[in-house]
Structure 1
Amino acid sequence: MTMEQKPAHQLFNMLNPVHFLAVGFGSGLAPKAPGTFGTAVAVPLFVLCWTFLPHSYLVALTVVMAVAGVYICGKAAEDAGVHDHGAIVWDEIVGFFICMLGITVNWMTLLVGFLLFRFFDIVKPWPIKLADQRVSGGFGIMLDDVLAGFMALAAMHIIF
């Protein structure tokens, strides 16, 4: 059995803080649609941060999460022996945070942001697909979701 065929819960150690973050606090271990579950975890986390942090701190936190994500995702992928394993969803969490920056939070914006981010992350229009195909390592794992987050952010600002 190759590493890619092993169930995610056998590849990631939830007692390892890097793995725990990489799999979105366990959400990425969902057997179906782990990216969607990872994004779903990002929603209440974002609302919590949006509620208690000034906007400038929220932006700074998002940047720190993205930069840290290069290491978190890269190390988890290396440990699992699978580049960009589906269970690694820290990048989805960061992408959703980006998508919601500067947006007033209510049930409608959260729903639209969630749907737009998942759309761009799944469909991967240019240049997301190009980045996904050509950039490797932790930076590559993060880059396509950061780009999807910015595309969703642009759409959010047009809509709202």
Structure 2
Amino acid sequence: MSHSNQAPEQDDPPLILPPGFLRNPVHLLAFGLGSGATSRAPGTWGSLAAIPLWYGIAWMPSLAYWLVVLAAFLVGVWLCGKTAEDLKVHDHSGIVWDEFVGMWIALGLFPDTIYGVLGAFALFRLFDIAKPWPIGWLDRRLPGGLGIMVDDVVAGAMALACLWAVDYWLVPVMV
């Protein structure tokens, strides 16, 4: 079983998609508006592609922002599950909607500098790739679209927690 941020295993299909695959709106969204269709590091490209879209929702009041993120998660469970089913794999590496949602969670403190955004990106990628407990455990045990989405949600939450800790404990000491 492969995950969207790991190199494809031998039993994974190549990143070559069926003709017209991304013309289907479900597949296009699951592939992060095409950002996951890259041959190298689709999870990283998907995480980067999430940032400009985040700027479009970051202005919202906190409650509205988190409701959008929750809706994106719920829709993502179906999008990712349907796309994986259509491709006949558990979690095709090009499916990166989960990275979008994970990044939006990591960016939930609404950093106001490029350094904050880069910190959220770096921490999210670290947790998503390394898969410390419970991320790897969840990734191996949850099926379908839920399994595809949950590990990135937890990676995003862990990145957010780290950013919060830095903001709460380290920044006041430095100022």
Please give the TM-score of this superposition, normalised by the length of structure 2: 0.85
Q: Deviations over 1:64-116 (max 9, x none)?
A: 00011110000000001111100000000000001111333320110000000
Amino acid across the alignment from 2:138: A
Give the structure 2 partner of residue 81 of structure 1.
88
Task: Give the structure 2 partner of residue 42 of structure 1.
Answer: 50
Tell me the distance in 2 between the aligned counterparts of 1:56 and 1:43: 19
Partner of 2:115: 108
Question: How large is the Cα RMSD of the aligned pairs?
Answer: 1.6
Q: Is the 8 A contact 1:96 1:113 kept in 2?
A: yes
Q: Give yes or no for the alignment of 1:135 onto 2:142.
A: yes
- Runs of 4 or more, structure 1, over 4 Å off, are none
Higher helix share: 1
1:3 CA displacement? 8.1
CA contact (8 A) 1:55 1:102 kept: no
Give CA deviations for 1:37-81 in whole Å, capped at 9, x if unaligned.
Answer: 000001111112113x22221111000000111100000000011
1:12 is displaced (CA, Å) by 7.1
CA distance in 2, matches of 1:146, 1:12: 29
Which residues in structure 2 correspond to 1:91-102 (within 5 Å)? 91-102=98-109
Unmatched segments (≥5 aa) in structure 2 = 1-9, 168-175
Take 1:121 and 1:6, find their aligned partners in 2: how far apart are those partners?
A: 21
Indicate the larger mover: 73-82 or 104-113: 104-113
Opposite residue 114 of structure 1, the aligned amino acid is: F
Match of 2:35 among 27, 32, 44: 27
Cα distance in 1, alignment partners of residues 29 and 70 from structure 2: 16
Q: Secondary structure at the match of 2:152?
A: helix
User: 1:119 is matched with which residue?
Assistant: 126
Q: Structure 1: which 5+ residue stretches go unaligned? A: none
Structure 1 residue 11: Cα displacement: 7.5
**Identity rate, percent:** 43
Distance 1:38 1:12, change over 3 A: farther
Q: Provide the rounded CA distance (Å) in 1 between the counterparts of 2:125 and 2:15.
A: 23
Larger Rg, first or second structure (1 or 2) = 2
C-alpha deviation, 1:7, in angstroms: 2.9
Cα gap change, 1:135 to 1:12, in 2 (>3 Å): farther
Whole-Å Cα distance in 2 between the matches of residues 49 and 12 of structure 1? Answer: 30
Partners of 1:4 and 1:12 in 2: CA distance: 20
1:122 aligned counterpart, secondary structure: helix
